[in-house]
A and B are shown apart, each in its own frame.
Chain A
């Protein structure tokens, strides 16, 4: 090109280009690292993952999913409960003895810590309730999505 451009960029622009290249490389590295971690950094396994690749019997794992509707059964001893965790494609029966958190209800999310028994029943020694992203008052909870929408529109008017 001409003489001015062969002298190079202004220092300000040079710094901008250098820094942009460095930032792009940095973000790329960060994203690659996060991508590589996508399996290891998960806090729990889904039922379909547990079913597809059963963990060793003595290996402690976390199982996370939804508590199937109508699946919670209290056992005769009064402290043990049986329920089913599902993720839409697979189901895993779980047995837990102890005090469940207050938010542990059917149709809600749960993370169970424990081991997979030889009989295919997951034996949990700790339960964590998982909250979903929906926040709504009690009065709206029984309604369908459509009813909630109408109710919300009515309040907004």
Chain B
């Protein structure tokens, strides 16, 4: 684990993986969506709007998975002080927020024709909206900490505390009567017909690869940023020293 604490070694591997993940993710996602949208028949009740599922469910899973990753990275940061943990948590936050938003937006568009409403304040929808707000708060906090060069420990605590929302989202449709339906896919069981399930799983795979690619690219960008900043600081220091030397010689 700490072998990869060396950013140079990590960067070597990350550089190699970023492109294949991004390109592979794009190809698999596009193929899965075309497959789903072209081949899947209309649902018995929802008609063609069932095809929103191929975007909605991967977005929901990745939105929740993103915060789970932030929580794990935060734990690693606080306990083992791994230097890449904070950077990976920061890198996950933006794609996580995008997927949480995509989940809410696609769900809202789906809700209008099926339920008869854009939005209701039931347990599932409300807790998912809270997740999006947590992401936005986390991004703002980590950006502010990075700008000031402060320790990211407070962000790690935020990441851990916010994780309590993830099981609440997951269980909300079981604990409380909600307009949102209960889970269709549970451990080794699916209430989704195979004509929808296979394109759906392909789409989950594609979006996950994309997510991984974006996270690696963002981690590299954050590391490069830190490097550039350090170099600038060294240069400024040198220039200051040189300036201080000149009058020193004259005096």
Cβ-based interface call for A7 (8 A): no
Cβ-based interface call for B227 (8 A): no
CB distance from A155 to the nearest CB of B (A): 6
Q: Mark B166-188, 1 if CB is under 8 A from A, else 0.
A: 01100100011111011110000
Contact call A44/B116, Cβ cutoff below 8 A: no
Of chain A, the residue at the smallest CB distance from B122 is: A43
Q: A41's contact among B116, B176, B181, by CB below 8 Å, is which?
A: B176
Given A133-B183, A137-B193, A156-B194, decide whether A26 and B164 contact each other with a Cβ distance below 8 A.
Answer: yes
Contact call A136/B193, Cβ cutoff below 8 A: yes
Contact call B115/A141, Cβ cutoff below 8 A: no
Cβ-based interface call for B244 (8 A): no
CB distance from A123 to the nearest CB of B (A): 18
Interface core residue of B177, B179, B181 (most chain A CB under 10 Å): B177
- Interface residue stretch chosen among A12-20, A51-59, A70-78: A12-20
Contact call A135/B196, Cβ cutoff below 8 A: yes
Interface size on B, as a range, is 35 or more
CB distance from B55 to the nearest CB of A (A): 15
Contact call B115/A15, Cβ cutoff below 8 A: no
Chain A residues within 8 Å of B45, by CB: 103, 105, 108, 131, 141
Chain A residues within 8 Å of B167, by CB: 27, 30
- Interface residue stretch chosen among B36-44, B128-136, B138-146, B217-225: B36-44
Give residues 140-157 of A contacting B (CB, 8 Å): 140-141, 148, 152, 155-156
Of chain B, the residue at the smallest CB distance from A35 is: B175
Query: Once bound together, how far apart are the Cα atoms of A133 and B183, in whole Å?
Result: 6
Chain B residues within 8 Å of A23, by CB: 160
Q: A19's contact among B75, B191, B195, by CB below 8 Å, is which?
A: B75
CB distance from B115 to the nearest CB of A (A): 5
Chain A residues within 8 Å of B81, by CB: 12
Contact call A129/B78, Cβ cutoff below 8 A: no
Query: Once bound together, how far apart are the Cα atoms of A42 and B126, in whole Å?
Result: 12
Cβ-based interface call for B16 (8 A): no
Cβ-based interface call for A119 (8 A): no
Cβ-based interface call for B114 (8 A): yes
Listed A/B pairs (5) with beta-carbon separation below 8 Å: A26-B164, A44-B179, A45-B177, A128-B116, A148-B193
